[in-house]
Amino acid sequence: MTHGPLHGLRVVEIATLAAGPTLATTLGEFGAEVVKVEQPGSGDPMRTWGDRRDGIGLLWKSIGRNKRCTTLDLRTPAGQDLLHRLLEVSDVLVAGNRPSALARWGLDYESVHAAHPHIVMAHITGYGAGGPKSDRPGYGTLAEAMSGFAHQTGQEDGPPTLPPFMLADGVAGIAATYAVMMALYHRDVHGAQGQLVDVSLVEPLTRLLESGTLAYDQLGVVKGRSGNMLPASAPRNTYRTADGRWLAVSSASPSIAARVFRAVGRADMAENPAYMDPVRRQERAAEVDEAVAEWVGRHTLDEALTAFEAAEATAAAVYDAPALLADEHLRARGTFLQVPDPDFEQVTVQAPVARLSETPGHVGHLGRGLGADNDAVYGGLLGLSPDKLDELRAEGTI
């Protein structure tokens, strides 16, 4: 295994749950050394969040991959002092605590920058800095509501719909990852100091939903829910097949729409300007959707996929977890890895998403036990003696 592209970069993660840890996980996949700092005794709530086996959260195993796990009570002066010692030999601090908590601990950006001007500090919070909500507690659910996502998701006559997974946290974590890399580039290439990367859970998701605010700003239109349909991309929906399975179809361009029409035996639509002009097709979205639904409903999923593939149209089966893991294309790409684990023998997790041809990402190990690396980090990296480590343990600092 060659060193990853971020080899030599050290990241200290004091964030919990999903957004900040997602950022640190991604950096760790590509070679950064990630030191995860958790509260002694309890640790990151992600350790027991969601589905569990033998009391261990399954998501923890994946989001804790490659990280060195330490414990440290940041509410105490001794804990704060030890964290500052870590920052002296690190490059990035990832935090997700409310600003008031960081200020109490002397870990707000102004304090960190004054003591460690080289540090890039990523602070991911519910609402971001600078507004009246800055110090309110915030979770991804609230961001999914405020961003407009829930308002636009669901059936037309149904309630606003929240995603069944941590969407806002994941999107914020990805946004913060590229922002940290930009800040590091500015520091290391342009000879600058570190800086603050301020990311809220609301704004990255809102950026993906910008069509809604643009439509309101320029047209006075408030977009609502339309189920799985997207009139601007008609036909676009999920369709039930004759064998009770589901097929997703999309046709954003006229050429693809024509292929879909031919695949479902409606060459007449493919040759009619009323259905090929994007604006006029949008006006006929319901009719187009009905034509596709009627044809798909008379065919099995395999028959429908064969017809769409022959026409070079765009369709895919709606997968559940077993189908996702069994897909021949994803298996050929190595999308999922089986990683040895001392708790579960082995766990199937998703490989790093981005594929770098010369310096690929790597999963060395999955989430480790609470404080498993205290001796290696505080003793090996910071040089504390065994007696000092015993003292810190006795007083509850680590």
Q: What are the Cα distances from residue 105, in Å, to 43, 81, 194?
A: 18, 10, 20
Residue tagged active-site, from 73, 91, 169, 198: 169
- Cβ contact 183:93 at 8 Å: no
What is the C-alpha separation between 57 and 17, in angstroms, rounded? 11
What is the C-alpha separation between 76 and 278, in angstroms, rounded? 63
**Could you give the angle at which helices 19-29 and 167-189 cross, rounded to 10 degrees?**
50
Catalytic: 373? no
For 255-289, give one letter per residue: b (16+ CB within 10 A) or e.
Answer: ebbbbbbbbbebeebbeeeebbeeeebeebbeebb
| Residue listed under structure tokens 């990311």 | 199
What is the C-alpha separation between 283 and 123, in angstroms, rounded? 45
Residue 343, judged by CB atoms within 10 A of its CB (0-12, 13-18, 19+), counts as middle
What is the C-alpha separation between 134 and 22, in angstroms, rounded? 21
- Cβ contact 371:37 at 8 Å: no
Tokens of 105: 């601990």
Give the catalytic positions in this structure: 169
